[in-house]
């Protein structure tokens, strides 16, 4: 059975990569694509836009133009746009894959509520490698316990608008949960001046924005006499795109609920 997919933001970096990846999959079919209202690319062929040839899918300015013809929507846009698309998918009983980061607590709650009616896979990072890292971080944090200082360093391209990255925050959340801590209470976002000695229960975050870095993440577990690091480096957005398509294939067949890539990869009980 071919799964029909809609893509938000066809002209963006992830949008083009998703369309390219979908075109190479026999089990998936691109059935709709959007670009922001007023864009000069409205009406262009999504396949030509992604550099894969004609796919006979015209880029439109609204999800409403094709939502009734898709099985799942992939959305890596902005929080406000994602919430608009969420409402449309909820009304039409269409599954969603959400990779948008920077959602507020209230927006996250809206996603959770919508997942009572439609299947949603939401993740800060769809890379298989990153999600294996999440599993390893849980093991490492439980093993080291309170005997280490924990720091998270992330680097992305100059155009990324949110910081720390959603992936870094997810990594911090995994570590905090494993240690029985509340990340909102123990997170330290950058240091400057006379900060005093480091408190062991804190989890530090450092952010780098430079050049065209796709995405690097390192979590440091530092004890007296040794240091353990878990690192993931992305060299192409195709790893994110392929992970999102894996999620799309999986979530399109699930009952209404909120899932993540740990569910898709069957890592929660591993």
Q: CATH number for the domain including 15?
A: 3.40.50.720
Residue 247: which of 63, 64, 97, 79 has the closest Cα? 97
Catalytic residue at 233?
no
DSSP class of residue 242 equals H
* 270: confidence class by pLDDT, cuts 50, 70, 90: low
Do the domain assignments include residue 253?
Answer: yes
Catalytic residue at 58?
no
Supply the pTM of this predicted model: 0.84
* 269: confidence class by pLDDT, cuts 50, 70, 90: confident
Q: Are residues 49 and 18 in the same domain?
A: yes
Q: Is the pLDDT of residue 112 over 90?
A: yes
From 85, 156, 217, 232, the catalytic residue: 156
Residue 151 sits in which domain range?
128-234
Is 184 exposed, middle or buried, given 0-12, 13-18 or 19+ CB atoms closer than 10 A?
exposed
* 71: confidence class by pLDDT, cuts 50, 70, 90: very high
CA distances from 147 to 100, 134, 184 (A): 34, 20, 21
Do the domain assignments include residue 270?
Answer: no
Q: Are residues 223 and 201 in the same domain?
A: yes
Q: Are residues 23 and 117 in the same domain?
A: yes
From 4, 65, 135, 160, the catalytic residue: 160
Do the domain assignments include residue 257?
Answer: yes
Residue 122: which of 80, 74, 89, 65 has the closest Cα? 74
Partners of 203 in the β-ladder? 150, 187
Q: Say what the pLDDT of residue 268 is.
A: 83
């Amino acid at each position: 059975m071919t799964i029909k997919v809609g893509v938000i933001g066809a002209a963006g970096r992830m949008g083009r990569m998703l369309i390219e990846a979908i075109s190479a999959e026999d089990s998936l079919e691109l059935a709709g694509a959007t670009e922001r209202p007023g864009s000069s690319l409205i009406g262009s062929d999504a396949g030509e836009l992604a550099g894969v040839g004609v796919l006979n899918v015209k880029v439109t300015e609204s999800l409403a133009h094709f939502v009734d013809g898709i099985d799942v929507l992939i959305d890596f846009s902005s929080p406000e746009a994602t919430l608009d698309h969420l409402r449309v998918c909820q009304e039409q009983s269409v599954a969603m894959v959400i990779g948008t980061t920077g959602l507020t607590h209230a927006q996250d709650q809206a996603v959770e509520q919508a997942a009572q009616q439609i299947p949603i896979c939401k993740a800060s990072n769809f890379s298989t490698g990153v999600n294996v890292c999440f599993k390893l971080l849980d093991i490492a944090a439980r093993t080291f316990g309170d005997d280490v200082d924990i720091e998270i360093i992330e680097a992305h391209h100059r155009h990324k608008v949110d910081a720390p990255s959603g992936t870094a925050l997810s990594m911090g959340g995994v570590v905090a949960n494993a240690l029985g801590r509340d990340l909102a209470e123990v997170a330290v976002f950058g240091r400057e001046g006379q900060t005093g000695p480091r408190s062991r229960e804190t989890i530090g975050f450092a952010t780098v924005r430079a050049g065209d870095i796709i995405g690097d993440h390192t979590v440091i577990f530092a004890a007296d006499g040794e240091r353990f690091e878990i690192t993931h480096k992305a060299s192409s957005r195709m790893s994110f795109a392929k992970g999102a398509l894996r999620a799309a294939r999986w979530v399109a067949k699930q009952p209404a609920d909120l899932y993540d890539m740990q569910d898709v990869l069957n890592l929660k009980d591993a």
